[in-house]
Amino acid sequence: MSHKQRIVSGMRPTGPLHLGHYFGVIANWVRLQEEYDCFFFAADWHALTSEYADPTRIKGFVPGLVKDWVAAGLDPDKCVIFQQSRVKEHAELYLYLSMYTPLGWLERCPTFKEMNEQLKQKDLNTHGFLGYPVLMAADILMYKPCAVPVGKDQLPHLELNREIARRFNHLTGSEFFPEPADMLTEECKLAGLDGRKMSKSYGNSIMLSESIDEIAPKVRGMKTDENRLRKSDPGDPSICNLYPYHKLMTDPARLPEIEEGCKNASWGCVDCKKLLMQSLEKFLTPLHERRAACTDERVAEILETGSRKAQAVAARHMDELRKLVNFDF
């Protein structure tokens, strides 16, 4: 039995992961698996909150998500990788917690309004979408973690999670749920290839699963310092969309050379992109090799084993909760 402190986190399976996901989330998970008892899950029920009208693709996205995780360095021998919908106790705890959660708490959730505005082409005025923070609370509280790795945009959700835990504990006269701390992750300062936020929907991303041949034309068309109309024009790396990629993936010893070459115009943007392609190939090749080794059969094995481990913990905690609320019929 592990004596490490536990953390829990998940991602919605809505398509392939890109470099923003890697540097913003997955790289941190890879570090955490060495220090904590980590539970990472494919949040397929969460994907349904916005994809309910056409859920057919979710099933195919789950294996791809796991392959991207393994490619990025998650090790099933060091962490528990599982699928949310395979652990039915999540749905039961979601039901119980929904009974304890005031409607006003959900209506004031900032993401409810933001996503409704951003995804106007979809009808998100559903009970499932309004209540998804309760499902998120169930996902987390089920495993009684000490902390949850989150970005700043997720802090309101985690605070709501703690409020639900406090209310449940108060009304049941118990200390059943610990209040998980936020483990704030460093924001990934990596814009999309066109300078906007990196997003699958914008088509401005480099996917972890893309081949070098597929990436090359994307890098050639990448937005750089708009003030450099000609190679002879001096540039400013601090406002160049390309330079943050170098800071994350190019040998740090080369950065002063890149900066100086840009500022004195001895380097052109084409030179900079050629070096970035070399850095990308060096960075992505090990990921591609691990992904290729992670067959569909291996993914099925990972999810079967991980979901079984998660379900064992969830079943034990739900047995305790049913007794606490006198529903152990």
Q: What stretch of H or E contains 263?
A: helix 255-263
Place 143 in a pLDDT band, splitting at 50, 70 and 90: very high
Distances (CA, A) of 128 to 89, 104, 124: 17, 15, 9
What b/e string do you get for 253-275 counting C-beta neighbours within 10 Å, with b at 16 or more?
eeeeebbebbeeeebbbeebbeb
Kindly report the pTM of this predicted structure.
Answer: 0.93
pLDDT at 113: 61
pLDDT at 74: 98
| Mean pLDDT (whole number) for 77-101 | 98
Place 116 in a pLDDT band, splitting at 50, 70 and 90: low
CATH value at residue 11: 3.40.50.620
Q: What letter does residue 252 receive in the DSSP assignment?
A: G
Question: Are residue 39 and residue 147 in the same domain, yes or no?
Answer: yes
Question: Are residue 11 and residue 158 in the same domain, yes or no?
Answer: yes
Question: Are residue 31 and residue 179 in the same domain, yes or no?
Answer: yes
- The mean predicted confidence, pLDDT, of the chain is 92
Place 2 in a pLDDT band, splitting at 50, 70 and 90: low
Question: Are residue 118 and residue 249 in the same domain, yes or no?
Answer: no
Tokens found for residue 286? 């090990």
Place 231 in a pLDDT band, splitting at 50, 70 and 90: confident
183-229 pLDDT, tens digit per residue, is 988 777 789 999 898 887 788 999 999 999 999 999 999 999 888 87
Place 119 in a pLDDT band, splitting at 50, 70 and 90: low
Query: How wide is the angle at C-alpha 303 spanned by C-alphas 165 and 50, nearest 5°?
Result: 60
Residue 14 contacts by C-beta under 8 Å, 6 or more apart in sequence?
A: 47, 51, 58, 61, 200
30-39, 219-228, 251-260: least confidently modelled range? 219-228
279-304 pLDDT, tens digit per residue, is 999 999 999 999 999 999 999 999 99
Q: How many domains does the chain have?
A: 2
Is 198 a member of any domain? no
Q: Report how far residue 184's alpha carbon sits from residue 205's, in angstroms, rounded to the nearest whole number.
A: 24
57-61, 136-140, 142-146: least confidently modelled range? 57-61
Is 233 a member of any domain? yes
16-34 pLDDT, tens digit per residue, is 999 999 999 999 999 999 9
Question: Are residue 134 and residue 218 in the same domain, yes or no?
Answer: no
pLDDT at 114: 64
Question: Are residue 233 and residue 87 in the same domain, yes or no?
Answer: no
Question: Are residue 133 and residue 80 in the same domain, yes or no?
Answer: yes
| Mean pLDDT (whole number) for 49-56 | 85
Q: Report how far residue 5's alpha carbon sits from residue 3's, in angstroms, rounded to the nearest whole number.
A: 7
Q: What is the residue range of 17's domain? A: 6-190+296-324
Contact between 167 and 101 under an 8 Å Cβ cutoff? The reply is yes
Question: Are residue 159 and residue 227 in the same domain, yes or no?
Answer: no
Is 199 a member of any domain? no
Query: Of the candidates 140, 145, 137, which has an alpha carbon nearest to the alpha carbon of residue 4?
Result: 145
| Mean pLDDT (whole number) for 103-125 | 72
Q: What stretch of H or E contains 183?
A: strand 181-184
Place 96 in a pLDDT band, splitting at 50, 70 and 90: very high
Is 202 a member of any domain? no
Contact between 176 and 321 under an 8 Å Cβ cutoff? The reply is yes
Residue 234 contacts by C-beta under 8 Å, 6 or more apart in sequence?
A: 228, 262, 263, 264, 265
Does the pLDDT value for residue 321 go beyond 70? yes
Is 31 a member of any domain? yes
pLDDT at 184: 86
pLDDT at 118: 57
Is 203 a member of any domain? no
Q: Report how far residue 172's alpha carbon sits from residue 52's, in angstroms, rounded to the nearest whole number.
A: 34
What b/e string do you get for 67-78 counting C-beta neighbours within 10 Å, with b at 16 or more?
bbbbbbbbebee
Q: Report how far residue 90's alpha carbon sits from residue 88's, in angstroms, rounded to the nearest whole number.
A: 5
Question: Are residue 280 and residue 219 in the same domain, yes or no?
Answer: yes
CATH value at residue 216: 1.10.240.10
Does the pLDDT value for residue 45 go beyond 70? yes
Question: Are residue 59 and residue 29 in the same domain, yes or no?
Answer: yes
Question: Are residue 232 and residue 163 in the same domain, yes or no?
Answer: no
pLDDT at 112: 63
pLDDT at 302: 98
Is 21 a member of any domain? yes
SS3 9: strand
High-pLDDT (> 90) share of the chain, %: 73
Does the pLDDT value for residue 120 go beyond 70? no
